Structure 1
Amino acid sequence: MKELINNLKGDKGIWSFVMLLALISFMPVFSASTNLVYVIGKGSTIGYLVKHLVHIFIGFALIYFVHKVPYHYYRALSKIAMPIVALLLLFTFMQGTVIGGANASRWIKVPFIGVTFQTSALAMIVLMVYVARYLAKIEDKPFTFKSSFFELWIPVFIILALILPANFSTAALMFAMVCMLVFVGKYPMRYLAMIIGIGVTGLTLFVLFAIAFPKAMPNRVDTWMSRIERFTTDVPNEDDYQIEKAKIAIATGQVYGLGPGKSVQKNFLPQSSSDFIFAIIVEEYGLVGGLAVLLLYLMLFFRFLVSAHKTNSLFGKLLIVGLGFPIIFQALINMGVAVELLPVTGQTLPLISSGGSSIWMTCIAIGIIISVTKKEEEVAQELAEKEERDAALKQIIDEHILREKQEEEAQATDVEEPSYSIKDKGKNPMSAVMGK
């Protein structure tokens, strides 16, 4: 175990906060799983706990192996992975999986394993690395809006267009994060303003098309449109039930909560172990527990900022910003939905909510970030060792110069000192010299 810990390279703060969030997740997931067991009648609480443990274990294995790969390798991998991800998204969109009568075309089932996988989570990572690669490539190089539009923005819009009909919240989050990343990468503001205008226009046309031809679009479009309508008006909606139960859970928790496993609303709140797990945390651990979870995410965000500041290469900085910031914003969105600051989005609480693909993709993103910090630590260590070697060499050279100087002074003293014969012993040295 000690040897394994010693092999963990990179920013120790990021490692610590990620591990703490993963450890915190077990009790809420175990408690909230009773909704699936006793209300829906599916599985057992121990089974869900073990399943979550396996997901976390695989996630940390992914962090370990990903952080061992030098981060500059992901520059080339992103270019190769973009068309593969686009094909996966197209397949996911076209296969039209239906779960419980509702469209779930953001999920695909992995053959032979039977595990469902959300392809948009993988697309998020690949897209952010791709954008970081492009921005690092054009650093200090002249380029035009036309060249950047075809090389950068068309691939971005293709990915977003394949995600948008089935998962509006993820597409919106991805577009916002890409805009934030290109802003950090010093992409010209006038170009970015034009891209935002194109994006808003495209979204407007898509909504008008969905309204004009409702049968041409999957019913997920109706779902996210109704969520926005419910949030902006008082029209009754099925999301009201989820929000009301979440607010009751948060209000019941008060300051110190009801205690671990004593949540009542977990038996009535759908998605209590995933989308609305923050409400269960507040109900069981109170305002103190909710603020503690929020503080952990903010401290992780601070470590991302520190790591990005320490990184010397632009590609490394953009990787940390592009992969780290979405994790924090996703957590804030999840919490905002639970307290009705935002409309229902379906975003999970990273590293805490149950669900395999969500945990695994978050862990891959963290692994890449730690790979960047590991490289910077190695560079800093090499620099420190070089300075130590230079200091030792300088000391050796100084000692050698001092020794030579001492020898030269000793030789000069020997030449100037008068010599006496044996017969002059006992006489006045001056008289011996003068021949007296």
Structure 2
Amino acid sequence: IALIVMTLLIGPEVKGSRRWITLIGVNIQASESAKPAFVVLAAWLFAESTKRPEMPATSMALVLLLTLVSLLVMEPDFGQTMLILMVWGALFFIAGMRMIWVMGLAGAAGVGLFTAYLLVPHVAGRIKRFMNPASGDTFQVDTAMEAFSNGGWFGLGPGEGIAKRSLPDSHTDFVFAVAAEEFGIILCLILLALFAFVVIRALSRAYRSEDMFARFAASGLAILFGVQAAINMSVNLQLIPAKGMTLPFISYGGSSMVSLAYGVGMMLALTRQRPRTEQESMNAGMAQDYA
């Protein structure tokens, strides 16, 4: 949060947004680092609310959400804002909160999106172009769809793609379309299956955990990973309005790659099965004999 505040104060403005800050010669996108850290901290607060009902942990988690979302909107970075809101809402639901609260939060998010549509020109422009392509420039998504069409099932071959020569952000936001053109729909389906496997496996391991913090944190990190991948692929396929979001471990990027790496690293640490110590095995054996 401190880095995001510094970005807002001294970060350079690029295309109307302040999202990057240079520290010791390294460009950092602080919002990327904030995502997994936010998920783990929110998970801890929800876990504490189940252990100690007298602790206002849920209210603290809501304050944390509003703080981070407010800073992201000020950048502005509505893609990361929507991602954070969806992951927090999923954690809120997993923690056993009442459906009426979940629906209320979803309604509040919808109102916020509508307000952004009314007040922020580039958000309105993206939504209008998505609803009516003739209303503005749709070069990026049109070129991405052309790449899918060119690639067919098996692609044109490594390095033989045509769309990447003219497609902006072909190495980051639209790398999925480039992969489709060069390696075909088969590779896209394999990537989709891999992302789905990671998310489903992590959620199943988290569900079996008896530690509420490990369960919530692993679930939140898995959902963060899966939703980010889904947003990127959906933008490439013109299923949702365009927004800048990298494809996990496929897109080029420094801050995003580091953030994803330690997020998945924490997810592995939280879901791994630790071997029993000798004393734990003896205690379990004694308990079984007594039973």
TM-score exceeds 0.5: yes
Q: Kindly indicate whether the alpha-carbon contact (under 8 Å) linking 1:330 and 1:348 is maintained by their aligned counterparts in 2.
A: yes
Q: In structure 1, how many angstroms separate the alpha carbons of the residues matched to 2:57 and 2:109?
A: 15
1:231 Cα deviation (Å)? Answer: 0.9
- What is the TM-score when the length of structure 1 is the normalising length? 0.61
**Structure 2: gaps of 5 or more residues:** none
Residue equivalent to 2:67: 158
Which amino acid letter does the alignment assign opposite residue 341 of structure 1?
Answer: L
Residue equivalent to 2:230: 332
Q: Secondary structure at the match of 2:217?
A: helix
Residues 135 and 327 (structure 1), Cα distance of their counterparts in 2 relative to 1, 3 Å cut:
same
Q: Deviations over 1:10-61 (max 9, x none)?
A: xxxxxxxxxxxxxxxxxxxxxxxxxxxxxxxxxxxxxxxxxxxxxxxxxxxx
Is 2:122 the counterpart of 1:228? Answer: no
Residue equivalent to 1:288: 186
- Pick from 131, 137, 146 the counterpart of residue 248 of structure 1: 146
- Pick from 82, 103, 114 the counterpart of residue 16 of structure 2: 103
- Pick from 225, 249, 259 the counterpart of residue 361 of structure 1: 259
Residue equivalent to 1:70: none
Residue equivalent to 1:68: none
| The structure with more radius of gyration | 1
Q: In structure 2, how many angstroms separate the alpha carbons of the residues matched to 1:326 and 1:389?
A: 36
Which amino acid letter does the alignment assign opposite residue 223 of structure 1?
Answer: H
Which amino acid letter does the alignment assign opposite residue 386 of structure 1?
Answer: S
Q: Deviations over 1:364-395 (max 9, x none)?
A: 11111111123xx22x533897159948xx8x
Residue equivalent to 2:240: 342
Which amino acid letter does the alignment assign opposite residue 123 of structure 1?
Answer: A
Residues 264 and 310 (structure 1), Cα distance of their counterparts in 2 relative to 1, 3 Å cut:
same
Residue equivalent to 2:90: 180
Q: Deviations over 1:292-348 (max 9, x none)?
A: 111111111122122212322010011111111111111111111111011111111
Q: Kindly indicate whether the alpha-carbon contact (under 8 Å) linking 1:246 and 1:279 is maintained by their aligned counterparts in 2.
A: yes
- After superposition, residues 376-415 of structure 1 pair within 5 angstroms as 377-378=273-274, 380-382=275-277, 386=281, 390=285
- Pick from 146, 150, 168 the counterpart of residue 78 of structure 2: 168
**Structure having greater relative contact order (Cα 8 Å, sep ≥ 6):** 1
Residue equivalent to 1:427: none
Residues 230 and 384 (structure 1), Cα distance of their counterparts in 2 relative to 1, 3 Å cut:
farther
Residue equivalent to 1:422: none
Residues 290 and 207 (structure 1), Cα distance of their counterparts in 2 relative to 1, 3 Å cut:
closer
1:170 Cα deviation (Å)? Answer: 1.0
Q: In structure 2, how many angstroms separate the alpha carbons of the residues matched to 1:235 and 1:90?
A: 38
- What is the TM-score when the length of structure 2 is the normalising length? 0.89
Residue equivalent to 2:31: 120
What is the aligned residue count? 287
Q: In structure 1, how many angstroms separate the alpha carbons of the residues matched to 2:17 and 2:110?
A: 25
1:178 Cα deviation (Å)? Answer: 0.2
Q: Secondary structure at the match of 2:80?
A: helix
Which amino acid letter does the alignment assign opposite residue 281 of structure 2?
Answer: K
Query: What RMSD, in angstroms, separates the aligned Cα atoms of the two structures?
Result: 2.5
Residue equivalent to 1:129: 40
Residue equivalent to 1:21: none
Residues 202 and 362 (structure 1), Cα distance of their counterparts in 2 relative to 1, 3 Å cut:
same
- Pick from 163, 170, 177 the counterpart of residue 272 of structure 1: 170
1:149 Cα deviation (Å)? Answer: 6.3
1:126 Cα deviation (Å)? Answer: 2.0
Residues 93 and 229 (structure 1), Cα distance of their counterparts in 2 relative to 1, 3 Å cut:
farther
Residue equivalent to 1:305: 203
Q: In structure 1, how many angstroms separate the alpha carbons of the residues matched to 2:50 and 2:252?
A: 40
1:284 Cα deviation (Å)? Answer: 0.7
**Structure 1: gaps of 5 or more residues:** 1-84, 211-220, 395-436
Q: In structure 2, how many angstroms separate the alpha carbons of the residues matched to 1:272 and 1:349?
A: 11
1:263 Cα deviation (Å)? Answer: 0.6
Residues 119 and 338 (structure 1), Cα distance of their counterparts in 2 relative to 1, 3 Å cut:
same
Q: In structure 2, how many angstroms separate the alpha carbons of the residues matched to 1:325 and 1:121?
A: 15
Q: Kindly indicate whether the alpha-carbon contact (under 8 Å) linking 2:116 and 2:124 is maintained by their aligned counterparts in 1.
A: no
Q: Secondary structure at the match of 1:347?
A: coil
Residues 384 and 226 (structure 1), Cα distance of their counterparts in 2 relative to 1, 3 Å cut:
farther
